[in-house]
Amino acid sequence: MTATIIDGKAFAAGLRARVGDAAAAFTRAAGRRPGLAVVLVGEDAASAVYVRSKGKATVAAGMESFEHRLPADTDEAALLALVERLNADDAVDGILVQLPLPPHIDERAVIARIDPAKDVDGFHPVNAGRLATGLDALVPCTPLGCLMLLKDLHPSLSGMEAIVIGRSNIVGKPMGQLLLGESCTVTTAHSRTRDIAAHVRRADIVVAAVGIPAFVKPDWVKPGATVIDVGINRTETGLVGDVDPAVAAVAGAMTPVPGGVGPMTIAVLLRNTLVAAGRRAGVTVDEGAL
């Protein structure tokens, strides 16, 4: 058996096209384009590439892109002041502060200052709490993209056993909440989990978000399971995921690295920006169709 490769790139292209059509409808109804503000502090090379990609994708989807690039020695007070200005700017529907921030800036303080209605990353405690309690929320982009890929493959996830490897606020925790919301039985595994392979072997769905190259081994995976590899690890041989590629001989379906989850993150960011714009402007956006 060889796993079906889940083409995140193709799915993301379709999502971006749907968002573009809906953004055009929003612009006609609201008399302005949805607006996304991205803030980059410092010159981290990977972050700079992400910011450029986000800017291009935002414009291509018919939205306004506002980029704010600040020097690495920007102090926390200045960054918080910029966030407050963006909160108050009616042209801005979504605010994304690119992480990681320089070590002298408290990331939690910055995230908490963003207006939850503009928090398109879904990291604000209000959005995290709403997700955890089953209320409408802006949801972190990567986990929501993973869920979209899973539901495209399995229209109903109800009753399936899922394991999320990783407990970060960015991926692991919200991924678990989303799967619970789909009535999966969810295990969260992490660095302290004993006999992690035994837990993984029970799972119909494996989401690996641990940041360790080729961490998930073929003999860990239940034959026919669906494997979502969130990892992007730079090694001497190139980009590799958190899942050993040999898992493809066991799994029923899996995402490749690159070309799996990665393209979904920016596509869902555009989707979240449009959803935020619709809610703020009182313009109906068919969120279920996105």
Preceding amide of 258 cis, omega within 30: yes
Same fold: 31-120 with 141-261: yes
Whole-number pLDDT of residue 239? 86
| CATH (one of 1.10.10.10, 3.30.930.10, 1.10.3720.10, 3.40.50.10860) for 31-120 | 3.40.50.10860
Give 205-217 pLDDT, tens digit per residue: 999 999 999 999 9
Q: Which fold has domain 141-261?
A: Rossmann fold (3.40.50)
Whole-number pLDDT of residue 77? 98
Residue 123 has pLDDT above 90, yes or no: yes
Whole-number pLDDT of residue 176? 98
Average pLDDT of 104-109?
A: 97
Give 9-27 pLDDT, tens digit per residue: 999 999 999 999 999 999 9
Where are the chain's structural domains? 31-120, 141-261
Tell me what percent of the residues of the chain surpass a pLDDT of 70.
100
Residue 274 has pLDDT above 80, yes or no: yes
pTM, to two decimals = 0.96
48 or 270, which is more confident? 270
Give 227-247 pLDDT, tens digit per residue: 999 999 988 888 899 999 999
Give 155-173 pLDDT, tens digit per residue: 999 999 999 999 999 999 9
285 or 44, which is more confident? 285
What CA–CA distance (Å, rounded) separates 66 from 176? 32
Positions marked active-site = 54, 98, 121
| Band of pLDDT at residue 1, cut at 50, 70 and 90 | low
| Band of pLDDT at residue 118, cut at 50, 70 and 90 | very high
Give 171-206 pLDDT, tens digit per residue: 999 999 999 999 999 999 998 999 999 999 999 999
47 or 61, which is more confident? 61
Q: Which amino acid is at 172?
A: G
